[in-house]
């Protein structure tokens, strides 16, 4: 009998020597969202409040690429924070404290997670829906992510 | 006297089946009795018993001891015969059960295969290429989720044709907005139902959905991640929505641009997925004669494909919803009619195309 393929037990494609708060490197050097560098004493929650738009995504996730491209296409330069698999639970916990602070209870954090203007906006679904209905651009402008 | 008739009774019960079955049952008895007596000797013993009982009835005083001794032996043998008969009957029943079950499953398989053949014939699709998607794994295996979807889709198209007829009649008859609203609502919900069906089908076999296998050949030509591009549809059908106010026209243009942007973003994600999948597969190595241990990351990438299909349908759904916001009821009715007829024509085109190859040159 064939053994079931262990989905989680495969070794990572690239070995990582750096810390979990690592730099994100985009393919396209011309149009790349700003690299998120952690300064001494800074944490994720600060980043959320400091950036008009920030996307938390799993490393190598193709869905997060979609979100990035969509926002870039609108003229927004979102900050991107890439989460390693091993840090995922910790990141989720920390971000969920933000959700309860802003009173948006009942929203489960899913990656990719988009924060606009310091509060959780939603995932790819919500971004797509609001973009098509035309609500996204005004929201971005309000948050100061777009100037036109 | 009892034993032979009992055997006959059993075989009569089994008479429903072919004689071969009966023969095999008899064969069983032959085998089980081989250790003890042959049936021939059994029958002989019966005759002996009969004759003995007859003697006993005549001779009152007679050699009663001898009769007793001899009486127990035939009784034992009779008991044994009955037990063996019961055993044989039980085995026959079990074999019957297994046979019937086999027939049932084969029947179900046949229905499924016939249905798929029917669908494939209708669509005029190339069965060779379709088999890959319909029968994952070894030939003969049927994906029940996909079979269900195909049956449901057949019903969906029938209902769709009915709704298109209703819309056409209603618009020609100039019914009230109230009545039109009901038809529009039905049509709208009908489309949303299709999205739900596709979502389920994508979980069953994502490649079936991305290839648009349930669609007719001409429809499939326009397939973009499991369906048509919403921006494309808006471009083609937009003019048929006129007369519209300038405001409405502008909104439709804005909607189309938004769809284009969403589609492009999604497509870039797909290309990234393709790229990483290709890299993963290229990096796979043979480990102890098998690629499988290295395939796990590739498998994970393929799972992501389901999300892409869902997201593509999400864009379609949102675009449709937005159109309902922009248009009046009457315009929406006209739009839905145009949309329905558009695909009807493609289906007709596909059918025509499929039959044209059979015409003599």
Omega before B243 within 30 of 0, i.e. cis? yes
Task: State what percent of residues in chain A have pLDDT above 90.
Answer: 32
Alpha-carbon span B174 to B156, nearest angstrom: 27
Confidence of residue B84 (pLDDT cuts 50, 70, 90): very high
Write out the two tokens for A31: 């149009």
Does the beta-carbon distance from B308 to A2 stay under 8 Å? no
Instruction: For chain B, say whether A75 makes contact (Cβ under 8 Å).
Output: no
Q: Taking residues B333-344, report their average pLDDT.
A: 94
Does the beta-carbon distance from A128 to B319 stay under 8 Å? no
Write out the two tokens for B164: 């298109």
For residue A81, what are the contacts with CB-CB under 8 A and spacing of at least 6?
A24, A36, A44, A47, A54, A55, A56, A57
Q: Taking residues B136-145, report their average pLDDT.
A: 60
pLDDT over threshold 70, residue B15:
no
Does the beta-carbon distance from A132 to B273 stay under 8 Å? no
Residue range A43-96, pLDDT digits in tens: 777 888 888 899 999 888 899 999 999 999 999 989 998 888 888 888 888 888
Alpha-carbon span B30 to B24, nearest angstrom: 9
Task: State what percent of residues in chain B have pLDDT above 90.
Answer: 49
Of B300, B301, B315, the CB nearest to A128: B315
For residue B168, the Cα-to-chain-centroid distance in whole angstroms is 34
Does the beta-carbon distance from A60 to B276 stay under 8 Å? yes
Alpha-carbon span A99 to A46, nearest angstrom: 14
Distance between first and last Cα of chain B? 79
Preferred mutation among B195, B252, B259, B262 to probe A, highest tally of A CBs within 10 A = B262
Alpha-carbon span B22 to B11, nearest angstrom: 7
Average pLDDT, chain B: 79
Write out the two tokens for B100: 């019937």
Q: Taking residues B43-56, report their average pLDDT.
A: 47
CB–CB of A58/A91 below 8 Å? no
Does the beta-carbon distance from B261 to A74 stay under 8 Å? yes
**In Å, how far is A83's CA from the nearest CA of chain B?**
17
In the prediction, which pLDDT does B94 show? 94
> So what's the architecture of A42-143 in CATH?
3-Layer(aba) Sandwich (3.40)
Preferred mutation among A12, A128, A136, A139 to probe B, highest tally of B CBs within 10 A = A128
Domain ranges of chain A: 42-143
HSE at residue B314, side-chain half, CA atoms within 13 A, is 19
CB–CB of A69/B269 below 8 Å? yes
Does the beta-carbon distance from A133 to B262 stay under 8 Å? no
Of B258, B276, B301, the CB nearest to A132: B258
Contacts of B229 in chain A (CB under 8 A): none
In the prediction, which pLDDT does A102 show? 52
DSSP string, B229-285: -HHHHHHHHGGGG-S--HHHHHHHHHHHHHHHHHHHHHHHHHHHHHHHHHHHHHH--
**DSSP-assigned letter for residue A87:** G
Contacts of A124 in chain B (CB under 8 A): 311
Q: Taking residues B161-183, report their average pLDDT.
A: 93
Give the count of beta carbons closer than 10 Å to the beta carbon of residue B356: 9
pLDDT over threshold 90, residue B68:
no
B126: left (phi over 0), alpha (psi -120 to 50) or beta: beta
Query: Among all chains, which residue has been given the structure tokens 């036109």?
Result: A148
In the prediction, which pLDDT does B154 show? 92
Alpha-carbon span A137 to A143, nearest angstrom: 10
């Amino acid at each position: 009998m064939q053994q079931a393929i262990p989905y989680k037990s495969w070794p990572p494609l690239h070995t990582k020597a750096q810390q979990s708060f690592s730099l994100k490197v985009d393919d396209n050097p011309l149009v790349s969202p700003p690299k998120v560098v952690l300064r001494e004493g800074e944490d994720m929650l600060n980043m959320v409040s400091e950036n008009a738009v920030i996307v938390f995504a799993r490393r190598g996730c193709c869905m997060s690429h979609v979100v990035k491209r969509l926002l870039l296409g609108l003229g927004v330069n979102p900050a991107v924070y890439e989460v390693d698999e091993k840090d995922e639970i910790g990141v989720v916990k920390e971000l969920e404290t933000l959700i309860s602070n802003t009173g948006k209870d009942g929203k489960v954090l899913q990656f990719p997670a988009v924060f606009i203007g310091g509060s959780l906006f939603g995932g790819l679904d919500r971004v797509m829906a609001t973009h098509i209905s035309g609500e996204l651009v005004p929201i971005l402008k309000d948050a100061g992510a777009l100037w036109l | 006297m009892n034993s032979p008739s009992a055997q006959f009774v059993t075989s009569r019960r089994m008479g429903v089946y072919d004689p071969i079955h009966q023969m095999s049952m008899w064969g069983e008895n032959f085998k089980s009795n081989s250790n003890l007596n042959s049936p021939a000797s059994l029958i002989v013993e019966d005759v002996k018993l009969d004759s003995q009982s007859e003697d006993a009835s005549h001779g009152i005083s007679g050699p009663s001891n001898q009769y007793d001794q001899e009486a127990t032996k035939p009784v034992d043998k009779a008991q044994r015969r009955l037990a063996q008969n019961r055993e044989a009957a039980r085995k026959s029943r079990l074999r019957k059960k297994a046979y019937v079950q086999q027939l049932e499953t084969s029947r179900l398989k046949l229905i499924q295969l016939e249905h798929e053949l029917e669908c494939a014939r209708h669509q005029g699709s190339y069965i060779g290429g379709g088999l890959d998607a319909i029968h994952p794994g070894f030939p003969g295996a049927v994906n029940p989720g996909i079979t269900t979807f195909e049956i449901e889709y057949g019903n969906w198209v029938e209902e769709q044709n009915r709704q298109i007829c209703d819309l056409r009649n209603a618009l020609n008859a100039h019914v009230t907005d109230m009545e039109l609203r009901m038809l529009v609502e039905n049509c709208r919900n009908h489309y949303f139902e299709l999205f739900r069906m596709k979502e389920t089908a994508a979980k069953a076999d994502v490649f079936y959905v991305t290839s648009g296998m349930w669609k007719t050949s001409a429809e499939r030509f326009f397939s973009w991640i499991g369906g048509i591009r919403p921006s494309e549809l808006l471009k083609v059908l937009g003019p048929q929505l006129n007369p519209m106010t300038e405001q409405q026209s502008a909104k439709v243009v804005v909607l189309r641009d938004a769809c284009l942007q969403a589609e492009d973003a999604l497509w870039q994600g797909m290309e990234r997925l393709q790229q990483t999948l290709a890299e993963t597969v290229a990096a796979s190595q043979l480990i102890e004669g098998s690629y499988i241990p290295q395939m796990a990351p590739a498998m994970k990438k393929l799972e992501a494909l389901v999300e892409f299909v869902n997201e593509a349908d999400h864009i379609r759904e949102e675009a449709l919803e937005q159109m309902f916001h922009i248009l009046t009821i009457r315009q929406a009715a006209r739009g839905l009619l145009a949309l329905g007829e558009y695909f009807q024509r493609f289906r007709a085109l596909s059918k025509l195309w499929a039959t044209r190859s059979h015409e003599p040159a």
